[in-house]
Each structure stands twice: as C-alpha cells, then as structure tokens.
Amino acid sequence: MKWDLIIFDCDGVLVDSEAIGNRFIAEALTALGIETSTDEALGEFLGGKLTQIKISVEKKLDKKLPDDWVDKIYEKQFAEFKRSLKPIPGIENVLRALIKNDVLMCVGSNGPVNKMDVSLRVTGLAQYFRGRVFSADHVGIPKPAPDLYLYCAEQLNCIPQKCLVVEDSPRGAMAGVSAGMTVFGYSGTDNSDDLFRAGCSTVSSKMTDLLDFAGVL
C-alpha cells in the first residue's frame, strides 16, 4: 500500500447530497431575484462553502443578507437529508475493503461539522470515520486553498506526498494538488474534463475503481 492516508471529501464523494443541497441554494437565490436552477447551482457552487456563497451573493446584490440566511438553507437541507439522503453507490464496499486492509481514512470537507454529522449518520457512514472528520472551519479557509488537506495530514501524522485525496469537485481537486497530494477524481456529476483540468491523476464514474487505483484489491 503506497498511501499512508486516504482523505475523502464528503458531499458527492461519500454521500449523494450535491443535487439536494444545491436545490435549496438555487431556491434561496431565486427568492432573492437571482433566477437559478439546480443544475446552474451545481455548476457554479459544486464543492463550495455556503458561507462563501453568501458573501459572493451580498457583493452581487450590494446588500447584506439576513444573519440566518445560511442557517435557513442548512435547516432545509438537513430535513431533506434525513428523508432521502443515500450513500454514493459503491462507497460502502470501498470503505469496508480499506478497513480490511488497515488503510487509515478521514473526511476533509468544506462543509461544517454539524452538516457532516447529519450526512454521515443518516447514511450509516459515520462508523468508518469516528474522530477523523475535519472541516474547513477548523482551518478558517475553504478549498481550493490546500489548508484543510494539509491539516488532515498533520492531525494524522502523515506527510502530504503519502496522502490520496478523493474528490468530486474541481475546487477540491485543486486543493489536494496544491497540498502536494495525489487526487482521485470521482465524476459523479459528469464533470470528468473539469476534474482532469484541476489536476486529478485519474477520474472515474465508478467509486469502486478507487480500490484498484489505491492498490487495494
């Protein structure tokens, strides 16, 4: 095994949440007069951080949004997660195989810890990452900056060059590359070209291909 640590993004990599989450972002933007479809939100905000989206919207509208704007979107997302959120196809087989082979794993997401707590708990994936769930909130700057992924490696005493990142968004892939890590791109939203341009070493629409790439058979 050539990797000391595999770092998984959460939304769109572990849990199939991107379409759900961006639907409510699109609704919130449309309510502000910025007509946005779910597909448009996915294209613009995939892998982004909601607090940063709020800042960019405030600049576009040249006005402050309510303090609870982000919290209200999360409230709607969490309610829908509890009703319908599913794991990414094949991810549980991957995680079980990695554990069987004693591979160290963690989560590194732009999302806040409470969002990951809901997502991982309702999909049954929390058991694979106890005590190893890290948020951009821990470092104060989101992807595409490399800080979060470097923080993950530091917390688990691994050097970046021995870390493999699993990402579905170009901004997340750029963070992994900037951190000096190798990135496996999961093209769950049919964005293979964007992931390659962001620096992924390989891209696949099948999560189980990660096992072969990581050298775990």
pLDDT in tens, the chain (217 residues): 689 999 999 999 999 998 898 899 999 999 999 999 998 988 888 778 889 899 999 999 999 999 999 999 999 999 999 999 999 999 999 999 999 999 999 999 999 999 999 999 999 999 999 999 999 999 999 999 999 999 999 999 999 999 999 999 999 999 999 999 999 999 987 889 999 999 999 999 999 999 999 998 6
- The pLDDT value recorded for residue 48 is 80
For 14-66, the DSSP string reads TB--HHHHHHHHHHHHHHTT----HHHHHHHHTT--HHHHHHHHHHHHTSPPP
* CA dist 10 → 28, 134, 170 (Å): 22, 10, 14
Domain with CATH 1.10.150.240 in the chain: 18-84
Superfamily name and number for 18-84 = Putative phosphatase; domain 2 (1.10.150.240)
For 84-101, the DSSP string reads H--BPTTHHHHHHHHHHT
Superfamily name and number for 5-16+85-214 = HAD superfamily/HAD-like (3.40.50.1000)
Rounded distance between C-alpha atoms, residue 77 and residue 70, angstroms: 11
